[in-house]
Amino acid sequence: MISQAEAGPRKVRVAKKLVVKDKSPVSSTKNLSSKFQNMSIEDNSDKITPEYVSKLKAPTSGFLCPLTKNKYIQFKGFKIRDVDSGEIFYNVSDPTDPEPFDTFMKGVDDSYRTLHYEFSKNYLKGKHIGTTVEFATCPEAIPNFRMIERHYFKDKLIKSFDFSFGFCIPNSRNTWENVYEVPKISSSLYKEMLQNPEQTCSDSFYFINDKLFMHNKAYFTFK
């Protein structure tokens, strides 16, 4: 996973060939949809809706869903670039096939979903930034995949994204690049962000059919 790829040695797994099985898209979507409808309300995360997280005004104090709830998505790459200058601030990618989706979350702790990034300070001065995520999906079709991301500096919301990927093909590998115009920041805020490592942070919430199944946190330092 990305945090580990960055930190150094990671579990090495034998790469299997990624095959897209010729399944009927309709039936497999139905399977997963009904699974989500029947999900028992055994933890509070079932009550966390897209509307709820879209109203959050500050970073959450903890994670809003258990790690083990994610049996659907594995991140395989992450890249951040300045679209105008071409400068690449961050780039990791893991070309290997995903681990078995039922078990890959076993035995991992919250450090798995807490990411720490250190970027060049040029990042704050970029005009257009492109962030790319790459992810592999489970053997079942995902009917309606949506991501909501909230970025804060010192408990103040600075930007947010809400993107619906919609349908994901079984056993697929997908990318999304979001190219956005960076809101101009004052020189005092720029200085403050530089001087306060890890005070810029984000919560990323991932939903299938509006049910939360993954929550990651990231902390940013600019140098």
Partner 1 sequence: MGLLTILKKNKLKEKEIRLLMLGLDNAGKTTILKKINGEDISTISPTLGFNIKTMELDGYKLNIWDVGGQKSIRSYWRNYFEQTDGLIWVIDSADRKDRFELCKKELLSLLKEERIAGASLLIFANKQDLPSALSKDQIQEFLELDTIESCHWNIQSCSAYTGENLVKGMKWITNDIRSRIFLLD
Residues contributing to the site for partner 1 (CB under 8 A): 18, 20-22, 24-25, 29, 83, 86, 130, 137, 141, 163, 165-169, 171-181
**Least distance in angstroms from the C-beta of 168 to partner 1:** 7
Phi, psi of 35 (to 5 degrees): -60, -40
- 111 or 175: CB nearest partner 1: 175
- 68 or 174: CB nearest partner 1: 174
- 52 or 176: CB nearest partner 1: 176
Residue (of 164, 165, 176, 149) closest to 54 by Cα position: 149
**Least distance in angstroms from the C-beta of 92 to partner 1:** 15
**Least distance in angstroms from the C-beta of 105 to partner 1:** 21
Name 209's Cβ contacts closer than 8 Å, sequence gap at least 6.
Answer: 33, 36, 37, 143, 144
Name 139's Cβ contacts closer than 8 Å, sequence gap at least 6.
Answer: 21, 101, 170, 171
Residue (of 217, 169, 206, 219) closest to 69 by Cα position: 206
**Least distance in angstroms from the C-beta of 169 to partner 1:** 5
- 86 or 107: CB nearest partner 1: 86
Estimate to the nearest angstrom the gap between the alpha carbon of 99 and the chain centroid.
17
* Cα gap 196→175, rounded to integer Å: 31
Give the strand pairing for 73-82 and 211-222.
unpaired
**Least distance in angstroms from the C-beta of 207 to partner 1:** 17
Is 80 within 8 Å of 128 (Cβ atoms)? no
The full length of the chain comes to 223
- 112 or 161: CB nearest partner 1: 161
**Least distance in angstroms from the C-beta of 171 to partner 1:** 8
Is 175 within 8 Å of 137 (Cβ atoms)? no
- 52 or 163: CB nearest partner 1: 163
